[in-house]
């Protein structure tokens, strides 16, 4: 079905059956097929195959899809868990939209086979790389939002991201960012992260704490919360997201 020399057969040249296969995986039928194709164009493909700059890749759609996904996941959690506070909702959202979780869901759907990559990137198994899988899923969500609106994107998110909710969200992992950051720091031989209260705002009954976390003297993350403990967790979360992006 696919030509290995031209990444994933390039959807602009593929059959209607192959386009339909991807749309079936997503649970959405595109009116504008160009949006579908652009959502799959990794920057390596754009450089190698089209000689264009990266604005023609899927990165702009990824930027949009990331924001749409955040909104829809936040809305879902807010409505479903009326008994949960901000900290717990933030924890659940973080698990659902993490790079690891999104890459896993994209892999489950088989999206890697459809990503448009350069020959070199394809040979290096770029279609299985977590960062590419995650980014492509976000760009597809952005494309669906543009093509069909918010409700179409919501349906896709339910199918592509929330289908394994109970496997992804671990209720017993409440506020586990500090332990995860500690494990990471110790695995690198950097000892314990150090948390410093940067500022306190508000009256005693409604204080907001700002905390930064440092590893080997270098500031790695920053967070706020209604207690020092919550602010430390948010700082650890920020540090983990920064480290994950490296």
Residue of 62, 121, 135, 138 marked catalytic: 138
pLDDT tens-digit profile of 195-225?
Answer: 999 889 888 777 899 999 999 999 999 999 8
Work out the angle at residue 37's Cα, subtended by the Cα atoms of residues 33 and 40, and round it to the nearest 5 degrees.
145
User: If you average pLDDT over every residue of the chain, what do you get?
Assistant: 85
Q: Tokens 């919501």 correspond to what residue?
A: 154
Pairing of strands 218-225, 194-201: unpaired
Is the model more confident about 4 or about 62? 62
Q: How confident is the model at residue 19 (pLDDT cuts 50, 70, 90)?
A: confident
Q: Is 116 helix (H, G, I), strand (E, B) or coil?
A: strand
Work out the angle at residue 87's Cα, subtended by the Cα atoms of residues 166 and 180, and round it to the nearest 5 degrees.
70
The yes-or-no answer on residue 135 being catalytic is no
Q: Tokens 């829809």 correspond to what residue?
A: 72
Longest dimension (CA), the chain: 65
Q: Tokens 């990559």 correspond to what residue?
A: 117
pLDDT tens-digit profile of 45-72?
Answer: 888 876 666 668 999 999 999 999 999 9
Residue of 66, 121, 135, 238 marked catalytic: 66
Report whether 2 contacts 22 (CB < 8 A). no
The yes-or-no answer on residue 120 being catalytic is no
């Amino acid at each position: 079905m696919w030509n290995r020399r031209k990444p994933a057969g390039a959807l602009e040249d593929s059959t209607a059956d192959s386009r339909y296969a991807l749309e079936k995986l997503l649970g959405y039928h595109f009116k504008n097929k160009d949006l579908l194709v652009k959502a799959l164009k990794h920057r390596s493909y754009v450089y190698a195959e089209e000689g264009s700059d990266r604005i023609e890749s899927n990165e702009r759609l990824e930027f949009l899809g990331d924001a749409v996904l955040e909104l829809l996941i936040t809305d879902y959690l807010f409505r479903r868990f009326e008994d949960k506070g901000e900290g717990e909702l933030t924890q659940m959202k973080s698990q659902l939209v993490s790079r690891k979780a999104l890459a896993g869901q994209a892999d489950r759907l088989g999206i890697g086979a459809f990503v448009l990559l350069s020959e070199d990137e394809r040979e290096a198994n770029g279609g299985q790389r977590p960062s590419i899988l995650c980014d492509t899923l976000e760009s597809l969500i952005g494309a669906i939002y543009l093509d069909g609106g918010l409700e179409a994107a919501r349906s896709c998110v339910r199918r592509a991201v929330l289908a394994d909710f109970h496997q992804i969200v671990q209720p017993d992992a409440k506020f586990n960012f500090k332990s995860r950051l500690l494990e990471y720091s110790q695995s690198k031989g950097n000892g314990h992260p150090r948390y410093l209260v940067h500022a306190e705002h508000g009256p005693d009954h409604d204080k907001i704490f700002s905390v930064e976390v440092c590893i080997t003297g270098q500031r790695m993350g920053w967070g706020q919360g209604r207690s020092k403990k919550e602010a430390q967790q948010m700082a650890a979360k920020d540090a983990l997201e920064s480290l994950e992006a490296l």
